[in-house]
């Protein structure tokens, strides 16, 4: 088993040792017209696309109208007009500040959870539907508060360790399911579309998280998806408590087995502080593995048109015994860069728990801070903004560029990052080892043109061809 130096990390560290200095940037106020434009160009399409679970029609429209390109252009225009300070706006009686400077984004993420809590009102309303005790929406005031839940997540997910101790079982599972996906595709019409990929990915995820006996429990995933759909409506949706109870009972039955080789087994042997609610952390894992599937499928689509990067991946696979866990740095970097290009969490939200100082001014407690990651990931000043460039995660470029945040950063940065990169790179290795892929619409992801800023993963279709 290979481990290695932390060469691709996107994180600023599990804990921030010191509060970051105040920002020199003074906030500016958006006019009523600018607020309306922001709502129309950014908030409405984001809600239509689905924040907690993606909606097929919303994503199709988002790609057709390239909503991220338009959103980035608008924010760039407002930055030109008002300067780099936070842009203040009021929406539905609530005070928000959109961060326009990459250093301010880093500052707010590093200042989590005090003064900037990730448990914002909007996130709580949405995520309480299926993970009321999830770390992301936990506050310090609760019994078994944020710190304990964070520590528990880090311990089970083995944050900071690139090769999880469950890697041998994980690699076996991922390769088996990828093999079955390919077998079914090549025995049929040879096509892998999102529906087929997602079905196989969900089986893989249930096995990794809950064990082999959960492989075919599609009812569990369907329940979670319904709760996530309710979460899409945030405050507007009634609590689905009966459905949540049924989901939790079914989930606990799987966790109680603590099947060897699964995260459920790791969870059962990890000490937890009182009030942590270990089982209550698992819905987030199941939910977040969906994003990993989207990232893996988009990466496969990109590699189907990007010959140079595909050759690099193949070079890495050729010298590796893929039946055992290995680091696969370049393949991992391809996934990281795909998430940079199309962040699965485009909006990072924080809320201040006390007054904060910004340049010559202050913003009151309760201000919602919005970080729109594509603004920084696709900044035209970056030579690689719109190109697949895995190299930036290997040569230090990404590490030294402010606000490249595919897995967020700071004390609430994604503790699943290492596990995600292990699972997705293993899946890509299994899929690319003996197959080539032909995209249905190759012009969409041409390597010699800027990549689109919005990519609807639902509509990607690839023909799998044995090599
Ligand atoms: C491609 C896949 C994934 C991406 C891009 C991703 C990204 C992120 C991001 C951006 C955040 C921060 C959200 C915020 O600041 O509001 C986050 C938080 C989190 N992620 Fe992931 N994630 C992925 C998959 C996973 C998986 C599979 C797990 C668990 C197995 C996981 C566990 C968590 C947890 C527990 C948090 C909350 C951290 C906290 O509040 O301290 N993630 N993730």
Q: What is the pLDDT of residue 144?
A: 66
In a domain, 169, yes or no: yes
Q: Range of 95's domain? A: 28-466
Q: What is the pLDDT of residue 4?
A: 38
pLDDT along the chain (467 residues), means of 10: 41 48 94 93 81 84 88 96 96 92 96 94 87 90 84 97 97 98 94 97 98 98 93 74 94 98 98 94 97 98 98 95 93 98 95 96 96 96 97 96 94 97 98 96 94 96 95
Count other Cβ atoms within 10 Å, centred on residue 321: 7
In a domain, 17, yes or no: no
* Centroid of ligand 1 to alpha carbon of 145 (angstroms): 18
* Centroid of ligand 1 to alpha carbon of 424 (angstroms): 15
In a domain, 1, yes or no: no
**Which residues contact residue 62 at a Cβ distance below 8 angstroms, ignoring those fewer than 6 apart?**
45, 48, 49, 68, 454, 456
With the most atoms of ligand 1 within 8 angstroms of its CB, the residue from 288, 297, 336, 369 to mutate is 288
Ligand 1 atom showing the smallest separation from residue 150 Cα: 41
CA-nearest residue for atom 9, ligand 1, is 407
With the most atoms of ligand 1 within 8 angstroms of its CB, the residue from 334, 370, 414 to mutate is 414
Q: Is 66 exposed, middle or buried (CB count within 10 Å of its CB: 0-12, 13-18, 19+)? A: middle
In a domain, 278, yes or no: yes
CA-nearest residue for atom 38, ligand 1, is 412
In a domain, 57, yes or no: yes
What CATH number does residue 301 fall under? 1.10.630.10
The answer, yes or no, to whether any atom of ligand 1 lies below 6 A from the CB of 377, is no
In a domain, 378, yes or no: yes
Q: For residues 401 and 108, what is the distance between their CA atoms, to the nearest angstrom?
A: 16
In a domain, 408, yes or no: yes
The answer, yes or no, to whether any atom of ligand 1 lies below 6 A from the CB of 299, is no
Ligand 1 atom showing the smallest separation from residue 153 Cα: 35
* 251 CA to centre of own chain: 22
In a domain, 404, yes or no: yes
- Count: domains in the chain: 1
Is residue 307 within 8 Å of 432, Cβ to Cβ? no
CA-nearest residue for atom 21, ligand 1, is 414
């Amino acid at each position: 088993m290979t481990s290695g130096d932390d060469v691709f990390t996107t994180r600023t560290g599990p804990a921030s040792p010191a509060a970051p200095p105040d920002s020199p940037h003074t906030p500016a106020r958006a006019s009523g017209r600018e607020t309306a434009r922001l709502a129309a160009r950014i908030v409405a399409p984001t809600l239509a696309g689905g924040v907690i679970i993606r909606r097929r029609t919303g994503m199709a429209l988002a790609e057709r109208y390239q909503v991220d390109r338009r959103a980035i252009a608008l924010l760039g225009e407002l930055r030109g007009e008002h300067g780099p300070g936070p842009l203040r706006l009021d929406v539905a009686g609530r005070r928000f500040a959109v961060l326009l400077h990459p250093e301010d984004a880093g500052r707010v993420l590093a200042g989590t959870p005090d003064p900037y809590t990730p448990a914002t009102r909007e996130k709580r309303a949405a995520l309480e539907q299926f993970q009321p005790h999830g770390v992301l929406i936990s506050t310090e005031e609760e019994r078994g508060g944020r710190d304990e839940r964070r520590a528990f997540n880090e311990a089970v997910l083995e944050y900071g360790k690139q090769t999880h101790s469950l890697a041998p079982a994980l690699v076996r599972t991922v390769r088996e399911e990828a093999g079955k996906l390919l077998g079914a595709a090549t025995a049929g019409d040879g096509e892998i579309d999102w529906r087929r990929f997602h079905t196989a990915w969900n089986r893989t995820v249930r096995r990794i998280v809950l064990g082999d006996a959960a492989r075919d429990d599609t009812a569990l995933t369907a329940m979670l998806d319904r709760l996530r759909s309710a979460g899409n409506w945030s405050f507007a949706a009634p609590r689905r408590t009966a459905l949540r109870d049924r989901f939790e009972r079914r989930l606990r039955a799987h966790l109680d087995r603590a099947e060897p080789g699964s995260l459920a087994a790791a969870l059962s042997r990890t000490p937890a502080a009182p009030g942590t609610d270990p089982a209550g952390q698992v819905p987030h894992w199941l939910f977040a593995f969906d994003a990993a599937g989207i990232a893996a499928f988009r990466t496969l689509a990109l590699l189907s048109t990007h010959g140079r990067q595909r050759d690099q991946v193949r070079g890495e696979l050729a010298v590796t015994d893929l039946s055992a866990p290995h680091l696969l740095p370049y393949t991992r970097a391809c996934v990281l860069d795909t998430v940079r290009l199309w962040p699965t969490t485009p909006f990072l939200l924080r809320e201040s728990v006390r007054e904060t100082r910004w340049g010559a001014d202050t913003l009151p407690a309760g201000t919602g801070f919005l970080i729109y990651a594509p603004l920084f990931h696709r900044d035209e000043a970056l030579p690689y903004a719109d190109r697949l460039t895995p190299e930036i995660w290997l040569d230090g470029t990404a590490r030294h560029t402010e606000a490249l945040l595919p897995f967020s950063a700071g004390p609430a940065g994604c503790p699943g990052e290492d596990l995600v990169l292990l699972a997705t790179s293993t899946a890509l290795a299994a899929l690319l080892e003996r197959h080539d892929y032909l995209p249905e619409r190759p012009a969409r992801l041409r390597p010699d043109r800027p990549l689109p800023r919005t990519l609807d993963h639902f509509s990607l279709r690839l023909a799998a061809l044995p090599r």
